[in-house]
Amino acid sequence: MYSMLKVLTSHKGKTHRLSLSAAIHSKTLTWIDVTNPTAEELKQISKLFQISEKDMADALDPEERSRVEENNKYKLIILRTPSKISQEIETTPVGIFIMRNNVLTIHKKTIQSLVEIHNYPEILAHGNQYFITRLIDKMTSTYFKLIQKIDGEIDALEERVFEHGGKKTAMHIFQLKKTLTFFKRSLLSNRETISQVIKMNVLHLDTKERMNFEDIANDINQLIDMTNTHKEILTGALEIHASTISNQLNDAVKKMTVIGSFVLLPTLIASIYGMNFGQPVTGNSMYNMPELSWMYGYPFALGIMLLSCIALYLFFKKKKWL
């Protein structure tokens, strides 16, 4: 993962790039977005904006929980947002450092929702509160998009589970459950943080922006309900998948039993007549097989085999095994 640092500000409806040092003296809101910063960049940011390196390191920690902090120099909000790694979707923390005319976002991985905001200079033009609200709202909306995508995948999985089970289907179900588990854990943490922002009034929100934050909190509650619902559906799908595999195995055993039975009885009859207990060997006895010296003995034995197969067929038909 490469390092990327962007310093953006808005002037007359257009986005302008600034140097990091120029951001300190900017009279308009300036956004510094940093992806996977180097140690030198962290030191430079810490020195210029008087931000604790420890706080920035916390924001880059993959296991960091969402939280809100406030000190004399800046306010810090850490929220977790989705991040795609190859085919897996996990969540990663984003640190939002809020100063008078500067907002610093710092994160280890590329965050698509933040990349999209780079193309909306008008968001920067409305000040600190508006920008932070839109930023957090955009990060939360990413969950909706991904959960809607997962919803479509679940529909396809349900069809595949009923049609034919397989290892790929089970692996897909487990992967989606894992993603939803990450989402739920992050959303619960985000909900707590957003509630603290509202209760503590960390950002000194006006009435309109406070209502917007409450809408974000409601969206997070809705997302948590959706993740719970989808996890329950996937658990049911996994149980059905296991049941389908078991039924397929039972059907296979049933078919093998039927085939084996059709072979077994004729083989038994042939084995009995193959013992060759007859007059040429043992002499005339009531216990010998008269069919061995009978001219119709061979057709008689074949007839018994055929009748045994017909009897088995009727039996299995009655039991609905055929």
Tens-digit pLDDT profile for residues 284-305: 666 667 677 777 778 888 888 8
The pair of structure tokens assigned to 302 is: 């074949």
Which pLDDT does position 86 carry in this prediction?
A: 56
Which pLDDT does position 97 carry in this prediction?
A: 94
Which pLDDT does position 85 carry in this prediction?
A: 60
CA-CA-CA-CA torsion for 200, 219, 180, 195, nearest 10 degrees? 10
Percent of the chain with pLDDT over 70: 92
Task: State the average pLDDT over residues 258-286.
Answer: 73
Task: State the average pLDDT over residues 273-280.
Answer: 65
* 19-57: pLDDT as tens digits: 888 888 878 888 999 999 999 999 999 999 999 999 999
The pair of structure tokens assigned to 133 is: 């609200």
CA–CA dist 138, 145 (Å, integer): 11
Considering 173-187, 234-248, 277-291, the range whose residues carry the highest mean pLDDT is 173-187
The pair of structure tokens assigned to 101 is: 């005319």
Question: Between 2.60.40, 3.30.300, 3.90.1210, 1.20.58, what CATH number should domain 247-318 receive?
Answer: 1.20.58
Provide the mean pLDDT of the chain: 84
Q: How far separated are the first and last CA of the chain, in Å rounded?
A: 60
Which pLDDT does position 45 carry in this prediction?
A: 92
Contact 289, 270 (CB under 8 A): no
* 91-142: pLDDT as tens digits: 999 999 998 888 999 999 888 888 888 877 678 878 888 889 999 999 999 9
SS3 72: coil
Spell out the CATH class of 4-246.
Answer: alpha beta
Contact 203, 128 (CB under 8 A): yes
Residues 6 or more apart in contact with residue 132 via CB below 8 angstroms: 77, 96, 98, 103, 203
The pLDDT confidence band at residue 185, using thresholds 50, 70 and 90, is very high
Beta bridge partners of 34: 5, 106
The pLDDT confidence band at residue 274, using thresholds 50, 70 and 90, is confident
Contact 16, 33 (CB under 8 A): no
Residues 6 or more apart in contact with residue 254 via CB below 8 angstroms: 321
Going from N- to C-terminal start, the domains of the chain cover 4-246, 247-318
Task: State the average pLDDT over residues 53-69.
Answer: 91
